[in-house]
Amino acid sequence: MLLRDTRRLVAIDIFRGLTIAIMLLVNSLPNFEQAYPLLLHAPWAGLTIADLAFPGFVFIMGVSASLWFAKHRDDSFGEKFSIILKRSVLLFLFGLILNQLPLLLQHCFSPEAGGSLLNDIMEHGRVMGVLQRLGLVYFFGMIITWWLRSEKHIAIMSLLLLALSSTCFHLYDTTNPFSPDNNISMLIDGIFPGAAHCYLGKPFDPEGLYGTIAATASFLWGMLAGRQLTLESAPIFERVLMLLVSGTLLLILGGVWSYLDIISKQLWTAPYVLFTSGGFMWGLGLLQMALSLFPDFMKWLFTPCRLLGTNPLFFFIVPDRLLLLFWYIKVQGTAIYPWLWEHTLLGVLGAPLSIAVFAFVWVLLWLPVANFLYKRQIIFKL
């Protein structure tokens, strides 16, 4: 749906834009084997810059949802529920459709592979994905917030969800609960959607169903941060202080919990949620403080992020799909995207610096598009 909306909270747009910029950067590396490790997802346990993009989306979705509830507090039960359900279903279905694009491109650029596209989708099409998890998290997070209402009860529910996720890992395998070869998340993925429909045909999907439990907690922490950020009865410095205190408590709890569970984006473990959510609270709080003290300078400084952050759905989908196309178009037997890197920056800067610079240029190329949409207040939403 195409909307025009001029009422924006600048800190949210900038934060969202930062997560989009990270996503664009790490997804557009022309060579993943020689790139800086911080720009790559941690292989199993650990935390890198690349591991901040997805939880950043979930967290800021919760922050934005707090504004939605304030705006729709007088709507009837049916109106609220229909909007929540519609958005959740559309996110899931849209993600499911986008997941089949690689198979479509494979049939277009490699027709010699033969077979039916429909059969390939039915046999190998990936079911879960980023938008699908966002749809599920949005639905459950919104329903929980609507049901509990109280900030204290929402915080307790967040901790209970993390405890549930962690406990089931340990009950499933008491000796090695987070093994990359056998864990409860992998078990559930094998049941639904099945190994053939997981990411790259592996027996485990990083956006599988089980991780939705802890990811919903990420959304709820964002919801609480949004309520603290927009608390009208408190001055801005008090609101920021509440965010910083809350973030510190989550970071401490995450540190303690990490002695029990690993920090893993792949499994979306409890310490991963606490560390990222606590860090995001600090980031959002400091950003809001800086915007309050130096509004004009900060808006100018973070203009690129603000431009990207006003159209998250567009910049989540379009650049990545276009990039996927560039990996299928061949030049001299090599995909055109890495071919351009090899024939421009590699010989001048060498790897891995040239890889990071090339990806950064890709991000910059989208800023004129973001500026065009921003000036006309065109926002794409589901």
pLDDT tens for residues 18-62?
Answer: 999 999 999 999 999 999 999 999 999 999 999 999 999 999 999
Whether residues 262 and 302 fall in one domain: no
Whether residues 361 and 229 fall in one domain: no
End-to-end CA gap in the chain: 6
The pLDDT score that the predictor gives to residue 73 is: 80
Q: Do the domain assignments include residue 183?
A: yes
Structure tokens at 75: 């709507």
Q: Do the domain assignments include residue 338?
A: yes
Structure tokens at 332: 């001299």
Q: Which of 244, 264, 293 is the last residue of a domain?
A: 293
pLDDT in tens, 357-380: 999 999 999 999 999 999 998 888
Whether residues 246 and 314 fall in one domain: no
Q: Do the domain assignments include residue 11?
A: no
Confidence band for 353, pLDDT divided at 50, 70 and 90? very high
Supply the range of the domain harboring residue 317: 295-381
Q: Which of 272, 293, 314 is the last residue of a domain?
A: 293
Whether residues 372 and 252 fall in one domain: no
Confidence band for 105, pLDDT divided at 50, 70 and 90? confident
Quick check: 94 and 131 in contact, CB under 8 A? yes
Whether residues 107 and 138 fall in one domain: yes
Domain total for the chain? 2
Whether residues 289 and 299 fall in one domain: no
Dihedral of the alpha carbons of 182, 211, 169, 156, in degrees to the nearest 10: 180
Quick check: 137 and 64 in contact, CB under 8 A? no
pLDDT at 110 over 80: no
Whether residues 260 and 325 fall in one domain: no
Whether residues 345 and 286 fall in one domain: no
Whether residues 276 and 300 fall in one domain: no
| CA–CA dist 57, 49 (Å, integer) | 14
pLDDT in tens, 145-187: 999 989 999 999 999 999 999 999 999 999 999 999 999 999 9
Give the distance, in angstroms, between the CA of residue 366 and the centroid of all CA atoms in the same chain. Answer: 19
Percent of the chain past pLDDT 70, that is, above it, reads 97
Least confident of 138-142, 167-171, 342-346: 342-346
CA distances from 189 to 184, 193, 195, 198 (A): 9, 6, 7, 7
Q: Do the domain assignments include residue 177?
A: yes
Whether residues 310 and 199 fall in one domain: no
Q: In DSSP terms, which residues pair with 380 in a beta bridge?
A: 2
pLDDT in tens, 273-296: 999 999 999 999 999 999 999 999
The pLDDT score that the predictor gives to residue 6 is: 34
Whether residues 122 and 221 fall in one domain: yes
